[in-house]
């Protein structure tokens, strides 16, 4: 396919959407670490130089995709059925389960979050970093509002602390829950070591339960 430069804002936006859609599709087939600019360029049938007309780097593509994934996750959370009755502890536990189970269904989001600070925020300009951080800040505010809707006893400050904990635990638990083949083989060879295997959903759920309970108790 011959390259035709996008000349209008609409055409440029469509080309960016095509690149992001291709990157999203690739993340269903491989982890973030294996997604290269060369492979992405081939998927969208563009030269690398042409992809870089729309995103300054591979990392910038993946940061934009991370923002889209977070937005989709928030939309899912806001549309989910949630029983608003019960004690604050019971509602906190239900919120913990909703957050954990919704995250584990989104492996691309978890993989991108895990790579955000160590990989994706490198090889980008200050302008891209500023745009990304502003977007993430807006998403965090939406998550805080979501948590506050179901646990109004927390207040904004503690709801923000709870959601920051969710994201930080997810960052650590996701790669730990997906060990390489050699580690899996070690667990198989010595079943006593299996206790070291991390279950992502359980870790995130438990972390949110305990954090919510602690914040509620401190707020009394």
pLDDT the model gives residue 134: 97
- Per-residue pLDDT, averaged over 28-51, amounts to 94
What Cα–Cα distance (Å) separates residue 103 from each residue in 75, 94, 193, 207? 13, 14, 26, 14
pLDDT in tens, 112-130: 999 999 999 999 999 999 9
- Per-residue pLDDT, averaged over 76-101, amounts to 92
* pLDDT of residue 179 exceeding 70: yes
**H helix or E strand, kind and range, residue 90:** helix 88-104
**Predicted confidence band of residue 6 (pLDDT cuts 50, 70, 90):** low
What Cα–Cα distance (Å) separates residue 93 from each residue in 86, 90, 209? 11, 5, 5
Residue that has been written with the tokens 């608003």 in this structure: 84
pLDDT the model gives residue 4: 56
Question: With contact defined as beta carbons under 8 Å apart, do 131 and 64 qualify?
Answer: no
> What is d(CA 93, CA 99) in angstroms, rounded to the nearest whole number?
10
Tokens read off for 129: 């970093």
* pLDDT of residue 5 exceeding 70: no
pLDDT in tens, 10-31: 888 899 999 999 999 999 999 9
> What is d(CA 86, CA 74) in angstroms, rounded to the nearest whole number?
24
Q: What is the pTM of this model?
A: 0.89
pLDDT the model gives residue 83: 80
């Amino acid at each position: 396919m011959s390259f035709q430069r996008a000349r209008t804002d609409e055409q440029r936006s469509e080309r960016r959407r095509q690149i992001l859609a291709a990157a999203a599709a690739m993340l269903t087939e491989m982890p973030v670490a294996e997604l290269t600019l060369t492979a992405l360029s081939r998927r969208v049938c563009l030269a690398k130089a042409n992809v870089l007309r729309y995103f300054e780097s591979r990392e910038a593509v993946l940061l934009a995709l991370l923002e889209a994934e977070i937005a989709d996750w928030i939309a899912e959370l806001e549309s989910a059925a949630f029983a608003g009755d019960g004690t604050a502890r019971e509602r906190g536990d239900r919120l913990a389960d909703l957050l954990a189970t919704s995250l584990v269904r989104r492996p691309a989001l978890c993989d991108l979050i895990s790579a955000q600070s160590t990989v994706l925020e490198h090889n980008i300009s200050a302008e891209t970093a500023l745009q990304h951080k502003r977007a993430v800040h807006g998403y965090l505010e939406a998550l805080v509002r979501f948590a506050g809707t179901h646990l109004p006893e927390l207040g904004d400050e503690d709801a923000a602390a709870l959601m920051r904990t969710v994201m930080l635990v997810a960052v650590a638990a996701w790669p730990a829950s997906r060990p390489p083949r050699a580690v899996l083989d070690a667990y198989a060879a010595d079943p006593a070591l299996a206790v070291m295997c991390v279950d992502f959903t359980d870790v995130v759920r438990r972390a949110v339960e305990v954090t919510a309970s602690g914040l509620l108790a401190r707020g009394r």
